[in-house]
Structure 1
Amino acid sequence: MAAVDPSQFSAMGKFFPELTELQAVHVCMLVFNNLSVEELAELRDVAPNTVKESMSSAQKKLGVSSMKLLRTSVINRVLMHIAIYIFKE
């Protein structure tokens, strides 16, 4: 698996103020690199259950009930922020 630099996602945390910085990075890595929980756990050198627990907490904080909805919610929020930025100018 190609190396993924988590720092490239840290700026996206501002789109998710209800999440911890680590949760925001994990969510963005899962969504925008299309990683599985197991792949993310391997990249972060943690147990898959650790990532699952973090994602479960993120789902609750974002008000979604599944990983599929989490992915959709994250994409929609990021696109909304981009659109707002573009149309402000």
Structure 2
Amino acid sequence: MPDEWTFSRAFAEFSTSRLPERVHEALIQKSYAPELVGHISRDSTAIEAREKPVKKAALDKVKAKRGRPKVMCHLMFGILALTANQLVTFVT
């Protein structure tokens, strides 16, 4: 086992020569030179958001009755009765 000082000097030389970086670069160039390499980066940071939108308060709407209003029916019946009365008076 080397001494601490020897190891420290060897490690310093190894670090300044950047040998692992150069070996890695050569390996990548040899293996992937003709190909295009892409990356997919995904962020898993939590985002504060609601799962469903908040429902809006519904306005109370008065439902309109279907069909003709009763007032119109009464008015039409009155006109029909007056017309019938005029015809009876005219004929007699």
Q: Which interval holds the TM-score relative to the shorter structure?
A: under 0.3
Higher relative contact order, structure no. (Cα contacts within 8 Å, ≥ 6 residues apart): 1
Normalising by the residue count of structure 2, what TM-score does the alignment of the two structures yield? 0.26
Normalising by the residue count of structure 1, what TM-score does the alignment of the two structures yield? 0.27
More helix by share: 1
